[in-house]
Chains A and B, each alone.
Chain A
């Protein structure tokens, strides 16, 4: 295996508050290889967006990286000063956010925003930057790009805006793109267009993607590997096919079972009772144990780390060496 493009080791993100320090991400480790698409999936509050924000250095204060490290291309980026991180963000790591309306400046034309991004990061003339901007818009499938480049974001529809945002993220030819729920605000027919566009462009440009979403369908269509997050930790990580077809963690099993399927009829959906714990009250041991149908004594007291389980890695005591020996 080639050296990882992005390496996250034991990442811990904390939010100090007046009453207590909330641990939003705890001991999160994963890697992304060059050109790979890693999906990060989970329910609201699992910490998936926070992981993306920590990587691009955009944690909202008072949130901070408390321990662990993030390495990009072999160099640590989690402790860089603000200005140094700014040079990496956009140039080497691009970002796509959920709402295309708020991630574009409504007062500037689309062209001006693209040209500004290109000129900030690449040493090219204004004419060359404009040529590149038009080419990017054409690549993202915007018709009549030469005219539309001088229009304002409000003159674009939601799907077209998200195409512009993708063009912006790719403008400086970054090696990694962090895409946080890029299709959630879009209609299904547009969602399919944007997903296939993102997939094709990243392949053409050789960019790796960290795709954060709550939609398992999008993950299945797009990703090479997937990390399932629960209560600030990775519950399971592995090749997307294995995680979907033979999930090892009881949470992944429940998550998959609760999605209404298009090709089978079930009277009732499998349901996981209860809800994701709040940050103020993360259960002891395995955070999933109060909702887990298979929890046993050890789960209540001892926190599992990722361990090999079937074809994936799961943080679950069911897959510990002792359990396998007993079975």
Chain B
């Protein structure tokens, strides 16, 4: 549909993506204690597209399924239902076929915890250089000549480190010699090694201090501008999301409840949950903005409420919300799943 408007097709196209985890007790317990099988619908029918060179941010509270979406997109989980199309190719099948390596080269992931995602026994040159070797991106004739690392590899690694603001000499150090922010830069350098087009960033700055977070966010924005990268940015911090994204999707208990342009979402949040999230942000400038008190907590995903899963916390819920699950509809240019908005009640 976007092609009809004369724009190139989106790089990432996600249709009805779902992931169900089996969290049943062991077989013996089920038989003896007569416990039923249990499933968590971590992601339930999520659809969105990401245009080339743009950033889609997914926000939501813990357990809403945003990290599961990230892992489904890069193929770390196989979807239970639905499709992920990357540049026209369906990824689930492609990742099982011979084309997997070529596809993996084009999408990379940055993880939340820079302490856990780098191998402490490897030097930075090996960490950043591994994807280069794995994908055969360094000239093979020279790799065989030297013992440890070829000149070509060294040059590549130095270039990558420089692009994230580290010194080429840092290649000979171990991860423990770096601070949290520097480690996250190493993660970014590693992700950039294969020259990907699409980066999935799962809470890349949540473990960092604010001044370091600013450094990492600036690098990510600079790289996007220079290399035309496309990002899926997962975060629970709405202020960070507002800074980096073009489009924002709000998730609640495995489903998208609102998906719209950043400016629209922050200026006119429509879904009651989005409004609640925005109201909950501490107001740093003490502008005296009126805040509605937030009620309740996220329900247990094992036993989600009927109808709209947000209805027990929603001030606008009525009988229909308790019974019928709202679909994601296009209302005034914004995709939204809410009966109250659809009926014009709010």
A residues sitting closer than 8 Å to B (CB atoms) are 43-44, 157, 159-160, 187-193, 195-196, 214-218, 220-221, 241, 244-245, 254-255, 257-263, 266-273, 275-276
- Can you list 30 pairs linking A and B with CB atoms under 8 Å apart? A43-B210, A43-B211, A43-B212, A159-B297, A188-B236, A188-B281, A189-B61, A189-B277, A189-B297, A190-B294, A192-B282, A217-B283, A220-B282, A220-B284, A220-B285, A220-B286, A258-B214, A260-B214, A260-B240, A260-B242, A261-B284, A262-B242, A262-B266, A263-B285, A269-B217, A271-B214, A272-B214, A275-B181, A275-B182, A276-B209
Q: How far is the CA of A43 from the CA of B293 in the complex (A)?
A: 29
Contact B283 A221 (CB under 8 A): yes
Q: Which of B209-229 contact A (CB under 8 A)?
A: 209-215, 217-218, 221
Given contacts A192-B281, A192-B291, A244-B286, 6 further A-B contacts (CB under 8 A): A43-B209, A188-B236, A217-B283, A221-B283, A261-B239, A273-B215
Q: Which of B266-297 contact A (CB under 8 A)?
A: 266, 276-277, 279-287, 291, 293-294, 297
Determine the residue in chain A with the shortest Cβ distance to B61. A187
Contact B209 A262 (CB under 8 A): no
Q: How far is the CA of A83 from the CA of B175 in the complex (A)?
A: 43
Q: How far is the CA of A190 from the CA of B285 in the complex (A)?
A: 21
Q: How far is the CA of A269 from the CA of B284 in the complex (A)?
A: 16
B residues sitting closer than 8 Å to A (CB atoms) are 61-62, 179-182, 209-215, 217-218, 221, 236-240, 242-243, 266, 276-277, 279-287, 291, 293-294, 297-298
Determine the residue in chain A with the shortest Cβ distance to B165. A273
Determine the residue in chain B with the shortest Cβ distance to A185. B62
Contact A189 B282 (CB under 8 A): no
Q: Which of B212, B281, B286, B291 contacts A262 (CB 8 A)?
A: B281
A319 to chain B, nearest CB (A): 21
Contact A259 B239 (CB under 8 A): yes
Chain A residues whose CB sits within 8 angstroms of the CB of B181 once the complex forms: 275
Q: How far is the CA of A195 from the CA of B281 in the complex (A)?
A: 11
Chain B residues whose CB sits within 8 angstroms of the CB of A193 once the complex forms: 293-294
Contact A188 B61 (CB under 8 A): yes
Chain B residues whose CB sits within 8 angstroms of the CB of A191 once the complex forms: 280, 282
Q: Which of A188, A272, A273 contacts B238 (CB 8 A)?
A: A188
Q: Which of A217, A269, A273 contacts B281 (CB 8 A)?
A: A217
Q: How far is the CA of A255 from the CA of B284 in the complex (A)?
A: 12
Q: Which of B182, B215, B284, B286 contacts A259 (CB 8 A)?
A: B284
A185 to chain B, nearest CB (A): 10
Q: Which of A187, A195, A262 contacts B239 (CB 8 A)?
A: A262
Contact A275 B179 (CB under 8 A): yes
Chain B residues whose CB sits within 8 angstroms of the CB of A221 once the complex forms: 282-283, 286
Q: How far is the CA of A275 from the CA of B283 in the complex (A)?
A: 26
Q: How far is the CA of A246 from the CA of B314 in the complex (A)?
A: 39
Q: Give the tally of cross-chain contacts (CB within 8 A).
A: 118
Q: Which of A160, A218, A260 contacts B217 (CB 8 A)?
A: A260
Contact A217 B284 (CB under 8 A): yes
| 7 cross-chain pairs, A with B, having the tightest CB-CB distances, nearest first | A217-B282, A258-B214, A260-B243, A43-B209, A269-B214, A187-B61, A192-B280
Chain B residues whose CB sits within 8 angstroms of the CB of A260 once the complex forms: 214, 217, 237, 239-240, 242-243
Chain A residues whose CB sits within 8 angstroms of the CB of B212 once the complex forms: 43, 275
Chain B residues whose CB sits within 8 angstroms of the CB of A159 once the complex forms: 297
Q: Which of B210, B237, B282, B298 contacts A218 (CB 8 A)?
A: B282
B277 to chain A, nearest CB (A): 6
Contact A268 B221 (CB under 8 A): yes
Chain B residues whose CB sits within 8 angstroms of the CB of A196 once the complex forms: 293
Contact A262 B238 (CB under 8 A): yes
Contact B286 A241 (CB under 8 A): yes
Contact A254 B282 (CB under 8 A): no
Contact A263 B287 (CB under 8 A): yes
Q: How far is the CA of A266 from the CA of B62 in the complex (A)?
A: 28
A33 to chain B, nearest CB (A): 21
Q: Which of A189, A216, A218, A258 contacts B213 (CB 8 A)?
A: A258
A55 to chain B, nearest CB (A): 23
Determine the residue in chain A with the shortest Cβ distance to B64. A187
Known contacts A187-B298, A189-B280, A275-B181; A255/B238 CB under 8 A? no
Known contacts A189-B294, A259-B239, A268-B221; A195/B282 CB under 8 A? yes
Q: Which of B218, B236, B240, B297 contacts A268 (CB 8 A)?
A: B218
B298 to chain A, nearest CB (A): 7
Chain A residues whose CB sits within 8 angstroms of the CB of B283 once the complex forms: 217, 220-221, 262
Most buried by B among A215, A259, A262, A263: A262
Contact A258 B210 (CB under 8 A): yes
Chain B residues whose CB sits within 8 angstroms of the CB of A214 once the complex forms: 209-210
Contact A271 B286 (CB under 8 A): no
Chain A residues whose CB sits within 8 angstroms of the CB of B211 once the complex forms: 43, 254-255, 258, 271-272
